[in-house]
Amino acid sequence: MGQITDTNNGALLVDQTYTLTVIRGNRRTGTSTPILNPKDGTPTFIKPQDNVGNKTFPNYDAYANQYIYEVALPGTAKKGKVFVDQRKDPFVVNLGETFDLINISTSPLGPENANTDNLADKNVTPLVVELPKEFLVSGPGQPIIGGWSTASTVKGDVYTQVSRLGMPLVNEVVIGVKDKDKFNASEPKDDLAKFVDYITHPTLPVIIVLLYKSAGAIAPTAFPRADLVAVFATSIATLNQPPGVAAGEMQRLNTAVAATPRNLQNNLGVIAGVTKGVLDASKADLAGFPNGRRPGDDIADIALRVVMGKLLTPDVAPPGDAPFTDGATVNTTMFDDAFPYLRPPIAGSPNDSITISTETGKSVNGSFNRVKPSYDSATRTLTVPKPDAASEIIKVKSDRPIGLGGVTVTENSVSAKVQ
């Protein structure tokens, strides 16, 4: 019994471990090559223990970060990185109100950041892998890759697929209940034959109009929805659609599109450059969703706007440019700028801890950007960088009622006592 640190984990009774395998060819019968732990040459990697609390882990980041591995990859001299650990949930969504018949308190045409992120106090356990693009593409002239994930049960040597995810919200929202098990057991190559009607004739716009017609919601009238087939099944021509594309729902990425620097990313990705159904590449963030997916892409808002006709012309989607939103915003400032990018987990103890986030913006009803605060627990002082002229308002959010007093403004920062 005792504390666990980066230099002493003798109090641990059990190590949690995992393995990684590269499979070339058929995922069940192809050629498999284990990835080896560079520290001991075995195929076994250690996952840090979950952050149960500050007494057990006085410096959780130092303890966890020693299990970030740089690994050799078969067939290339370039290295990859892998990390499996508990992290702060990176997904942002107004979950409760959205699934309560889209009972968004400010309506889906209200402010983009006025509602609660129901995952703000949650942790997840991600598998974070960073790989050189040369390792993923099929050849120098084929920069576009596609991917989806599955989970399977295993009995002996028999794998039974029970879950499938690719493009966000397709499984959860687009596919009907009666076909969810069938979809979870399927592969993208079968999508046009089995599930295309859910994409070409979606039900979500109809539901939104039934609930919010008085707020100005109007469903697109173009059927079949070729725009949604492009987004979810074939990807966008001239951007991330491969030559001779075989339609199927998956996340595709054109690796030839340069990554947008972190401080210049637009959380609406490609549709930031779309007006009246026409894409202006000079105004779009072509490195964002649906050309791949970055942690700071607001896929809930993007998906809502696309399904309501963002990519269609006004004659078939009159409110196509309307700013539909779930009211909980996400952007790149909420993530770290180095691997593994996702923020450290929220400690399980002390249980009287408060999760506080800070944002800056120009006006109360305008958009806000997340800024990283610092907190001195001894003096209970919250400090944020002083906003510039373009961001005159500081918004403080917490997961329980707090008071702020004793505000101090310096040349570079604003501080307040948390009460």
Asked if the structure places residue 280 within a domain, the reply is: yes
pLDDT class of 390 with cuts at 50, 70, 90? confident
DSSP string, 87-118: EE------HHHHTTTS--TT-TTS-TTSS--T
Whether residues 191 and 301 fall in one domain: yes
Residues linked to residue 82 through DSSP beta bridges, in sequence order? 69, 129
Average pLDDT over residues 73-88: 96
Whether residues 213 and 321 fall in one domain: yes
Residue numbers of the domain that contains 300: 88-121+136-334
Whether residues 230 and 367 fall in one domain: no
Number of domains in the chain: 3
Greatest pairwise CA separation for the chain in angstroms: 69
Contact between 54 and 81 under an 8 Å Cβ cutoff? The reply is: no
307: tokens are 């399904």
- Chain position carrying tokens 């959380």: 267
Contact between 207 and 176 under an 8 Å Cβ cutoff? The reply is: no
Whether residues 328 and 378 fall in one domain: no
Whether residues 326 and 392 fall in one domain: no
Asked if the structure places residue 97 within a domain, the reply is: yes
The neighbour count for residue 381, using CB atoms within 10 Å, is 15
328: tokens are 């909980």
Asked if the structure places residue 413 within a domain, the reply is: yes
pTM: 0.84
How far is residue 176's CA from residue 223's CA, in Å, rounded to a whole number?
18
Contact between 409 and 386 under an 8 Å Cβ cutoff? The reply is: yes
Contact between 395 and 361 under an 8 Å Cβ cutoff? The reply is: yes
| pLDDT at 105 exceeding the cut of 80 | no
Whether residues 307 and 164 fall in one domain: yes
Whether residues 256 and 168 fall in one domain: yes
Asked if the structure places residue 128 within a domain, the reply is: no
Whether residues 209 and 268 fall in one domain: yes
Q: Range with the lowest mean pLDDT among 93-97, 162-166, 395-399? A: 395-399
Burial (CB count <10 Å: 0-12, 13-18, 19+), residue 389? exposed
For 16, 179, 257, 265, 312, the CA distances from 288, given in Å and listed in that order, are 34, 30, 10, 8, 19
Helices (H) and strands (E) in the chain, counts: 9, 22
Identify residue 308 by its one-letter amino acid code: M
Average pLDDT over residues 403-412: 86
- Of the candidates 303, 334, 365, which is a domain's last residue? 334
263: tokens are 């401080």
Alpha helices of 78-232 — where are they, by DSSP H? Answer: 95-98, 133-136, 180-184, 191-194, 196-200, 204-212, 226-229
User: Residue 266: its pLDDT value, please?
Assistant: 96
User: Residue 340: its pLDDT value, please?
Assistant: 97
Whether residues 44 and 161 fall in one domain: no
Spell out a b/e string for 3-19, using b for 16 or more CB atoms within 10 Å of the CB, else e.
Answer: ebbbeebeeeeeeeeee
Average pLDDT over residues 236-247: 94
Residue count (the chain): 419
